[in-house]
Amino acid sequence: MEVRKDISEIKLTIRKITEIAKAKNNCIRFDIGQPDFDTPQHIKDATNKALMDGKTGYGPVRGVDELRIAIAEYESQKDGLDFDESNIIVTTGGMHALFSVCLAFLEKGDEVIIPDPYWAAYNLIIKSVGGVPVPVHYVDDSKLLIEELERAITSKTKFIFVNSPSNPTGEILIDEDLKKIEDLAEEKDIIIISDEVYERMLFGEHKFSSIAKYAPKRTLRINSTSKTYAMTGWRIGWLTGDKDLIIQIAKCIRATIACVTNFIQYGAVAALNGPQDEAMNMKKEYEKRYVAFKERVDKIGWTYLTPKGTFYMFVDTKEDSWPFCLKMIEEIGVSSVPGAAFGDFGKTYARFCYGSVSVDKINEAFDRIEKWLKK
């Protein structure tokens, strides 16, 4: 059986690096984009209780009421917007949220502007439903390049993706720039997809701001419990947006997965409504790792897009990213993801993730890198 050409041409590039790094003995893994912390106990306890209480049947397509109410309260607190459960739909992680949006609204040939560099799943998901990703380098070191964005818009543009804080760069957009994007989207009648998965992982005095506060009717916000609460394998995400948009997305959820696993949703309720101290401690640890990582990168003399949050650094090695990253794994057992996997801008970059790498291991890795670069 022949596979659709646009599907067969999708390259799972990051997976390839992961497999190579996993097979390397004593490899220090900066390729893994997830926390090394365990999920907080109160979240596991709530999930176990729901399981033992028999919450094992089909659930509502949009998610259990308790979780949608908790999400609506959480999202309303961030920017002073007034959401209720009718503005919320629960998904199987942030990636499923993104897929459901694209499935609901994209026609074959519709164009989607994505930031270059971009999270690799953007490209994959848009193509999988027949859309056309249009990578644009419209954010440079957290500065908006509005002219680049405007030039990329055509009559076929359906969405603009905003990812702040960004994977892979950790860059953010300030209110002034978000308003400029909203003005442009309003003028051209384009829907904004705001990926806000890393919004709780900002360093120092940096504050998160959502473009939704400027464009509540035309913005769909994507979020999840994965990174903030170390719940990557739980697969709980959600979409927040205008009620009419949510109704259309619900049809796609019903047609694909029917509902998100019932008892797991009660763990997400505990995550949002329960104590936040462990989530805050994780964030503090990531910031310590960032300081250690930055110090060693600066010592080498590599340049980078300055992250304001997340647990990534996008480093310019000045070399072709694929050969560089493969050679670094093979010769010294240090892995990172080639920047080319995140778009053309990253051809000489490498994405390092310290979400699963301690300060001691960061220093050990850079001891190896420094010796290697001197050869």
Of 210, 243, 273, the last residue of a domain is: 273
> How much is the average pLDDT of 323-336?
97
Q: For residues 46 and 255, give the distance between their C-alpha atoms in angstroms, rounded to a whole number.
A: 29
pTM of the model: 0.94
Q: Which of 58-62, 75-79, 230-234 has the lowest mean pLDDT?
A: 75-79
Number of domains, the chain? 2
- What domain range includes position 111? 55-273
The CA distances from residue 206 to 159, 305, 310, in Å, are 27, 16, 12
Q: What confidence score (pLDDT) does residue 78 get?
A: 85
DSSP E strand stretches across 317-362? 334-335, 337-338, 349-353
| 248-280 tens-digit pLDDT | 999 999 999 999 999 999 999 999 999 999 999
User: Do both 135 and 256 map to the same domain?
Assistant: yes
Cβ atoms 167, 120 nearer than 8 A: no
User: Do both 234 and 119 map to the same domain?
Assistant: yes
> How much is the average pLDDT of 4-12?
59
Of 225, 252, 273, the last residue of a domain is: 273
User: Do both 258 and 153 map to the same domain?
Assistant: yes
Domain with residue 350: its CATH number is 3.90.1150.10
User: Do both 15 and 66 map to the same domain?
Assistant: no
User: Do both 235 and 156 map to the same domain?
Assistant: yes
User: Do both 267 and 299 map to the same domain?
Assistant: no
Which residues, at least 6 apart from 323, have a Cβ–Cβ distance to it below 8 Å? none
Residue 46 falls inside a structural domain: no
DSSP 202: B
Q: What share of the chain is helix, strand, coil (3-state, %, to 5)?
A: 50, 15, 35
pLDDT band for position 295 (50/70/90)? Answer: very high
